[in-house]
Amino acid sequence: MNFRSLRRFSSKIPAIVTDIDGVMIRGGVQVGNSAKAVTTLKTPLKQLNPTRFGHLSAEKVPFICLTNGGGMMEEKKAESVNNILGLQAPYEFRGEDMVICSTPLKEIAYKYENEYVVVSGFGDVVNVAYNYGFKKALHIHEYSALFPFLSPLTTKYKDQAILDAHLEAMQKRLGSSFDIAEVQKKGVSSIPVKACIAFHDVSEMEESLQIFCDLIVSKDGIPGSKRSMADPQVVDVYTTNPDLLYSAAFSLQRFGQGIFEYCLEDLFNRTYGFAPEIIQYGKPNKNTFQYCQKICEKAASKEGLGISNFYMIGDNPLADIKGANQMGWTSILVKTGNYQPEEGQTNDLENPATHVVDNFSQAIELILEAENIL
Ligand SMILES: [Mg+2]
């Protein structure tokens, strides 16, 4: 085979997107020997197959972790996965390899760079939002601390020390140009809100439900005004994980972030008689899978390569397999997590995967063999 035909032969490589929990990790420990399979994928292609890829410099198989988890920066998530799997340089995951539930919001942050945005969710979400480019993001607790009368059911706001702690954090992040005393004096109209975002699991839900509803029904992003169904919704609403249930430590599945959206829709509808417009991110939504697709295509194009096939490895038919199937990707369902087939069942009935295998290592073997990489 001459050089030109070799180049043609290797001008396309596969891209692999994998879920984390129930696939590589379960209950904080490694599933099987997932680390070994990750190490293979993190090895330059020219080392894996010198005959076919000898002409490439450092290209590896584009490989992304896609999870509906969140509440932290991507770098932190990578660090935690590396620790559990015992991965070390040069085979470790980096922040850019992680797509958590909020990551695709990076693409829309520019729209809100100079706008007030209220974010809700457990963990470090307001700093994550700030780092994405939402420079005037306020956590829902901070917004409540500015205007405690908005959240009368959240009894902890009767404690001034709690309010002060939120105000202090907000002041530190937004700088001295944000005059808290002045904002409080002028009231809610001094900071019109352009978007509200459930960045991660919403705790103390009554507070977020109340304020999101106030903002969605407002005419101008200021709680207090009330538009009718015929008026356009001026506050954009985003959620990042539609999962109703997820597997945790207890034997029965637990409610996931998705319940916030269901409650919000229902409450808004009951209160105002029409439905709110909500833009949903997170698996199985197409926008989240498209985001991963773009990252993989960009990585491959650095060395002039294209993508032969996209693969999604997951344990959840409703999130991972449904999403991948919608995109026309090859979906691979593993049996180490959410999917527990009944006796005699060989695939999920509602969202059947292209392949069903025992575990992550088998999935990687299947892909590398099908793509003539090993
Ligand atoms: Mg999973």
Distance 243 CA to ligand 1 centre (A): 11
Distance 234 CA to ligand 1 centre (A): 35
Tell whether 300 and 361 lie within a shared domain. Answer: yes
User: Which CATH number do you get for residue 184?
Assistant: 3.40.50.1000
Residue type at 211 in one-letter notation? I
Domain C-terminal end among 280, 312, 347: 280
Cα–Cα distance, 163 to 7 (Å, whole number): 63
Distance 120 CA to ligand 1 centre (A): 23
Tell whether 227 and 318 lie within a shared domain. Answer: no
Tell whether 198 and 347 lie within a shared domain. Answer: no
According to DSSP, the residues that pair with 255 across neighbouring strands are 245
Distance 69 CA to ligand 1 centre (A): 9
| Helices and strands in the chain, H and E counts | 14, 15
Cα–Cα distance, 295 to 62 (Å, whole number): 8
Tell whether 132 and 198 lie within a shared domain. Answer: yes
Tell whether 257 and 320 lie within a shared domain. Answer: no
Cα–Cα distance, 261 to 307 (Å, whole number): 35
Residue type at 6 in one-letter notation? L
Helices 258-272, 205-217: crossing angle, 10 deg rounding: 50
Tell whether 52 and 148 lie within a shared domain. Answer: no
Bridge pairing between strands 236-239 and 116-120: unpaired
pTM, to two decimals? 0.94
Q: Are 358 and 34 in contact (CB under 8 A)?
A: no
Distance 286 CA to ligand 1 centre (A): 17
Cα–Cα distance, 345 to 263 (Å, whole number): 34
Distance 224 CA to ligand 1 centre (A): 41
One digit per residue, the tens of pLDDT, for the chain of length 374 reads 444 444 444 589 999 999 999 999 998 999 999 999 999 999 999 999 999 998 888 889 999 999 999 999 999 999 999 999 999 999 999 999 999 999 999 999 999 999 999 999 999 999 999 999 999 999 999 999 999 999 999 999 999 999 999 999 999 999 999 999 999 999 999 999 999 999 999 999 999 999 999 999 999 999 999 999 999 999 999 999 999 988 777 888 899 999 999 999 999 999 999 999 999 999 999 999 999 999 999 999 988 899 999 999 999 999 999 999 999 999 999 999 999 899 999 999 999 999 999 999 999 999 999 999 98
- Coil, helix or strand at residue 277: coil
Residue type at 155 in one-letter notation? T
Nearest to 221 by CA among 188, 263, 265: 188
Cα–Cα distance, 218 to 92 (Å, whole number): 47
Q: Are 29 and 326 in contact (CB under 8 A)?
A: no
Cα–Cα distance, 187 to 248 (Å, whole number): 42
Contacts of 275 (CB under 8 A, 6+ apart): 265, 268, 269
Alpha carbon separation from 85 to 30, 56, 187 (Å, rounded) = 6, 28, 50
Distance 337 CA to ligand 1 centre (A): 7
Domain C-terminal end among 243, 260, 280: 280
Query: Which residues, chain by chain, have CB under 5 Å from ion ligand 1?
Result: 19, 21-22, 315-316
DSSP state of 218: -
Tell whether 111 and 45 lie within a shared domain. Answer: no
Tell whether 312 and 274 lie within a shared domain. Answer: no
Give the model confidence (pLDDT) of 258-287 as tens digits: 999 999 999 999 999 999 999 999 999 999
Tell whether 234 and 315 lie within a shared domain. Answer: no
Distance 315 CA to ligand 1 centre (A): 5
Structural domain range at position 63: 3-101+285-370
Residue 331 has a pLDDT of: 98
- Coil, helix or strand at residue 158: helix
Q: How far apart are the first and last CA of the chain?
A: 18
Q: Are 59 and 303 in contact (CB under 8 A)?
A: yes
Tell whether 175 and 200 lie within a shared domain. Answer: yes
Domain C-terminal end among 225, 248, 280: 280
Tell whether 253 and 129 lie within a shared domain. Answer: yes
Which residue is it, tokens 């590896």? 60
Cα–Cα distance, 356 to 313 (Å, whole number): 10
Distance 68 CA to ligand 1 centre (A): 8
Cα–Cα distance, 250 to 254 (Å, whole number): 8
Tell whether 122 and 185 lie within a shared domain. Answer: yes
Nearest to 255 by CA among 210, 201, 212, 213: 201
In sign, the C-alpha dihedral spanning 95, 100, 102, 104 is positive
Q: Are 98 and 65 in contact (CB under 8 A)?
A: yes
CA atoms within 13 A on the CB side of 227: 21
Distance 348 CA to ligand 1 centre (A): 15
Which residue is it, tokens 């509200």? 196
Give the model confidence (pLDDT) of 287-306 as tens digits: 999 999 999 999 999 888 99
Residue type at 160 in one-letter notation? Q
Structural domains counted in the chain: 2
DSSP secondary structure string, 279-322?
EE-STT-HHHHHHHHHHHHHHHHTTT-EEEEEEEEES-IIIIIH
